[in-house]
Amino acid sequence: MQEVKILDKEFSLSISEEEINTAVRAVAENINNDLKGKDVLFMGILNGSFMFASDLFKHITIDCQITFVKVASYQGTMSSGNVKRLIGINEDIKGKTVIIIEDIVDTGHTLDNIIRQLKGYEPEKILIATFLFKPDAYTKDIKIDYAGIEIPNDFIVGYGLDYDGYGRNLKQIYTLKS
């Protein structure tokens, strides 16, 4: 499919299944080379990362575990409004090498928040593996250790990423038409 319509918006194909697979394998290969001999915990951030996490994990050959967490908005007890909390951590993270698996890093706010909370669990090291990265939108200094594909600052859907909850099932990536 060259074009898709999701809800009220039209998108056109920008990253093919083949390009996706090549990028996923490259990330896996780099992780396998860098982290040989380490006990690694992959931590997928739901919902968006489920597809990348699954494809990536199939190509990982080092000793490792995987878990999934979610960043949930909840109303704090103080009147300070919405706080984004990391939920679903039940593994023992202390002393482990944790690789955060993200679908996309845009401004980096989400990532920054996740890392701050994760540090409270005292992992030995936190690494970042994101499938997509928008360098022009990125506002943080946090090093992105592994990025599958760098993309322009446009809105995209597919391969786990959504527009209003839809489009995650597309196996290629589509960019919003301007």
Q: Which of 15, 23, 43, 48 binds Mg ion (CB under 5 A)?
A: 48
C-alpha 60/C-alpha 63 separation (Å) is: 8
Which of the stretches 36-44, 74-82, 84-92, 151-159 binds ligand IMP when contact is defined by CB under 6 A? 151-159
- Residue 161 binds what, of ligand IMP, Mg ion, none (CB under 5 to 8 Å, by partner type)? ligand IMP
Q: What letter does residue 1 receive in the DSSP assignment?
A: -
Interaction between residue 105 and ligand IMP (CB under 6 A): yes
Nearest to 39 by CA among 57, 59, 65: 65
**Does 106 qualify as catalytic in the annotation?**
yes
Which tokens go with 9? 């918006």
Q: Give me the phi and psi of 75, to 5 degrees please.
A: -80, 115
CB atoms within 10 A of CB 67: 14
Check binding of 68 to ligand IMP (CB under 6 A). no
Residues 10-49 that bind ligand IMP (CB under 6 A): 48
Q: Is residue 156 part of the contact set for ligand IMP (CB under 6 A)?
A: yes
Phi, psi of 25 (to 5 degrees): -60, -40
Site residues for ligand IMP per CB under 6 A:
48, 103-111, 155-157, 161
